[in-house]
Amino acid sequence: MAGADADGEGVLILAIETSCDETAAALVTDAGSVLSSVVSSQAGLHARYGGVVPEIASRRHLELVLPVVREALERADTSLGGVERVAVTQGPGLVGALLVGLSTAKAIAWAGGRPLVPVDHLEGHIAALYLEPDPLDPPFLCLLASGGHTLLLAVRERGASERLGTTLDDAAGEAFDKGARVLGLGYPGGAEIDRLAGDGDAEAFAFPVARVPGLDFSFSGLKTALLYTVRDLGERETERRRADLAASYQHAIVRALVARIREGVERTGLDRVAVVGGVAANSALREALPEARFAPFDLCTDNAAMIASAARFGGAIPFPNYLGLDAYASIS
């Protein structure tokens, strides 16, 4: 048998992730070493619509999933024969998109008599922290901030977390994306705002973030505040001050996230903080939380290595009991 086993590194896991607009596959050992992680982003395809178009995403996943799996196998210098377990994102996400990954994973698992591990996408984001070379051990307080979710979690053991807070409206990544659209930047907007903000003054504009009770978040008012500011400034002045607007807007989101994290630390007594999800790639957030552990930069946005990582901690369904498995759209 090829691959990791031969090197004494343990069982090889092939993972597939197709929950949104990234088609991803990865080969990870049971011990948490990433042998390959391939991500094919469809962002360019959806950019002209300003967001992900589910039907287009599903079709593109269908075209990309096998080439991406093949590429992941090649980069890991192995073949399907070396894969002992198949992992796949089951939800939450776009159901049509998820089904492409799920069907592919079922087929690969079934054809080789292998077990299949259905993985929750959000557990996957957290499991990015458990990979080599510097795995983090629970307990810790975790902010999961992505395009679809903003969750404050108490992670007391691997695979088990308690939800302390969530967003009441937009997710943090969604706030970045919507703000970027107001500023006439590309999709997805988080990285664009991050880049532009580097040239701007974060104190130039004061954007208020709603204070909601408990440890929840609310970002929808922020986007409206930006919209009004841009309207008042007019086109030419907005153009001239775009970097200041981006920096101030980003600052407001970061401040809100950091404030909640600090409150979470106080309430739970968990003094170690981790940040995962696409927004964890944000440079201002990383700067504002120097003591926190961030998921490795490449594993913040959607990828399959994190899905394989989560699959290391249980949930395997033995051959062939997984054929009826369905995808789910929303958080359980």
Residues that bind ligand KG4 (CB under 6 A): 20, 146-148, 173-174, 176-177, 188-191, 194, 277-279, 281-282, 301-302
Whole-number minimum distance, CB 103 to ligand KG4, in Å?
Answer: 21
Whole-number minimum distance, CB 286 to ligand KG4, in Å?
Answer: 9
DSSP 205: S
302 in contact with Zn ion (CB under 5 A): yes
Whole-number minimum distance, CB 128 to ligand KG4, in Å?
Answer: 10
- Which among 6-14, 29-37, 106-114, 299-307 is the span making contact with Zn ion, rule CB under 5 A? 299-307
| Distance (Å, whole) CA 314 – CA 312 | 6
Cα–Cα distances in Å, from 85 out to 25, 28, 73, 318? 13, 10, 13, 10
18 in contact with Zn ion (CB under 5 A): no
| Distance (Å, whole) CA 173 – CA 288 | 17
Whole-number minimum distance, CB 148 to Zn ion, in Å?
Answer: 7
Whole-number minimum distance, CB 149 to ligand KG4, in Å?
Answer: 7
Whole-number minimum distance, CB 180 to ligand KG4, in Å?
Answer: 7
Q: Which is nearer to ligand KG4, 130 or 176 (CB)?
A: 176
Scanning residues 107 to 146, which ones bind Zn ion (CB under 5 A)?
Answer: 146
Cβ–Cβ under 8 Å, residues 217 and 270: no
Q: Which is nearer to ligand KG4, 29 or 161 (CB)?
A: 161
| Distance (Å, whole) CA 38 – CA 251 | 32
| Distance (Å, whole) CA 40 – CA 54 | 16
Residue 209's nearest CA partner among 163, 257, 166, 244 is 257
Long-range contact pairs involving 149-153 (C-beta distance under 8 Å, separation at least 24):
149/92, 149/122, 149/277, 149/331, 150/217, 150/219, 150/257, 151/122, 152/215, 152/217, 152/260, 152/261, 152/264, 153/126
Q: Which residues of 177-188 are buried (b: 16+ CB within 10 A; e: fewer)?
A: bbbbbbbebebb
| Distance (Å, whole) CA 20 – CA 171 | 15
Q: Which is nearer to ligand KG4, 73 or 151 (CB)?
A: 151
Q: Which is nearer to Zn ion, 84 or 302 (CB)?
A: 302
- Which among 133-141, 203-211, 294-302, 319-327 is the span making contact with Zn ion, rule CB under 5 A? 294-302
Q: Which is nearer to Zn ion, 57 or 230 (CB)?
A: 57
Q: Which is nearer to ligand KG4, 82 or 188 (CB)?
A: 188
Residue 92, binding choice from Zn ion, ligand KG4, none, Cβ under 5 to 8 Å by partner class: none
| Residues making contact with Zn ion (CB under 5 A) | 146, 302
